[in-house]
Structure 1
Amino acid sequence: MNRRRLRAALLATALTGTLAGCGIRSTEVPTDFGPGPSRVPCVMSGSSIASQSTSGVPVQVFLVCAAQLVTVDRSVRIPAEKATSDRVRIAQALLDELAHTPSAPEKQAGFATDVRGGTVVSGPAEGDPEDALRFSSSPEDLSAFALAQIVCTFADSAAAGDDREVIMGGPGDDPLRRYECTQAVRQRPGTVAPPTETVK
């Protein structure tokens, strides 16, 4: 028994010396291979999607999840004949949906919104392009996430022009700007602003 213990001690000493000679320091701390996969799925189960579906026109809105923009299925109460032709009504309905607090399944999946309620959408003022949308407050006052959510949601709907760009401005003489939703905006809405071009 004593010989076995002595042999084990000699083997441990030799191994320690070998590691030290190779420049490898022994440690009990596990090696860090980078961050683990995110626990936020950003995807709802089929049963969750079905449970929150209601009567109305199906639409998609962009919510924030894991610092990115991700589409979520919703429905809005718009007359079917207005769902593709009444740009102002569509924009208002989508804006209201964005301002709604995410449902329990959406929250569980990690979704959130930075859009606040109370904004009213109107059509073009005199001299504006026919596809312009006027807000009751300037879009430039929105947070980076809220602006990206609105631009990308509108761009994927009948609220946008034929080129899938969105012309928005505030009330009165507030400048109109043409906004575009790009892949970079969807991936990094907090740091990449939607490309803009002043219209008037």
Structure 2
Amino acid sequence: MSGCGIRTTSVPVDAGAAPSRVPCDVRGETRVAGTQGVPLRVYLLCGAQLERVDRRSPLPEEKAVGDPVRTASALLAQLESEPSDDERQAGFATAVKGPLQVTAGHRGDPKGALRLSRQPEDLPPTAFAQIVCTFAESAAGAGGDTVVLGGPGAYEPRRYRCTQELKERPDSTVPTLPSGPTGPSGTPVPTAS
């Protein structure tokens, strides 16, 4: 049988995601018409992986700085919005579909916890990976490329981590850590008993 010159093997080989002809590169930032706004970075899908895209939010800077819930809300709105023409041509898409809202954690939640209007595990895996990586690498995150997220119910929120493996395989399970405080590298910090 003739082919591409690669010999077949009976051993399964995991060589990562398939190569893509899609450039996954947008020139400049996607701007909201008529607004200055705050620069934001969100993760969109491109070539079956998560890639970072720079955008601008219509949220005034003085309202976004220092408020993780407002930052998370602005980021979520960007994730839910359809990619611009330039982003689409570069191969970007989003799996995050609304309506989805984010609020502050419930009383008793770990500091910095955020609550989604849907249970995180009920979201499509790629959409959840987009949210975790976008939040974790922003002011809405909990440090160490992590974010503490819960749903609307009484379930305890969990600390989710954005890893390189998750960015390469956003349809996989999002890694979790204990929901308590973490150090700069994202490793759990012991708490006094």
- With normalisation by structure 2, the TM-score equals 0.78
Query: Once superposed, what is the RMSD of the aligned Cα atoms?
Result: 2.1
Secondary structure in 1 aligned to 2:88? helix
Identity rate of aligned residues, in percent?
Answer: 48
Out of 19, 38, 41, the residue aligned to residue 20 of structure 2 is: 38
**Offset at 1:198?**
5.3
Structure with the higher helix share, 1 or 2: 1
Out of 144, 149, 156, the residue aligned to residue 168 of structure 1 is: 149
The AA in structure 2 aligned to 1:194 is V
Hey, what's the Cα distance between the residues in 2 that align with 1:139 and 1:198? 16
Pairwise mapping of residues 99-114 of structure 1 onto structure 2 (< 5 A)? 99-114=80-95
Greater CA radius of gyration, 1 or 2? Answer: 1
Hey, what's the Cα distance between the residues in 2 that align with 1:150 and 1:37? 24
Secondary structure in 1 aligned to 2:114? strand
What's 1:194 paired with? 174
| 2:53 equivalent to 1:72 | yes
Flag the 1:33–1:63 CA change in 2: closer, same or farther, 3 A.
Answer: farther
Hey, what's the Cα distance between the residues in 2 that align with 1:110 and 1:91? 25
Hey, what's the Cα distance between the residues in 2 that align with 1:117 and 1:63? 15
Spell out, residue by residue over 1:111-157, the C-alpha distance to the aligned partner (whole angstroms, 9 max, x if none).
11100111111101111122000111111111110011000000110
**Offset at 1:182?**
0.4
Matched-pair contact (CA < 8 Å) for 2:43–2:53:
yes
The AA in structure 1 aligned to 2:154 is D
Pairwise mapping of residues 25-104 of structure 1 onto structure 2 (< 5 A)? 31-33=3-5, 38-44=20-26, 46=27, 49=28, 52-54=30-32, 55-104=36-85
Pairwise mapping of residues 104-183 of structure 1 onto structure 2 (< 5 A)? 104-183=85-164
Aligned residue pairs total: 166
Hey, what's the Cα distance between the residues in 2 that align with 1:165 and 1:38? 28
**Offset at 1:90?**
0.6
Matched-pair contact (CA < 8 Å) for 1:176–1:198:
no
Secondary structure in 2 aligned to 1:194? coil
For structure 2, the 5+ residue unaligned runs are: 7-17, 181-193
Spell out, residue by residue over 1:148-184, the C-alpha distance to the aligned partner (whole angstroms, 9 max, x if none).
1000000110001233310000113023110000000
Matched-pair contact (CA < 8 Å) for 2:136–2:146:
yes
Hey, what's the Cα distance between the residues in 2 that align with 1:37 and 1:144? 21
Secondary structure in 2 aligned to 1:137? coil
Matched-pair contact (CA < 8 Å) for 1:139–1:147:
yes
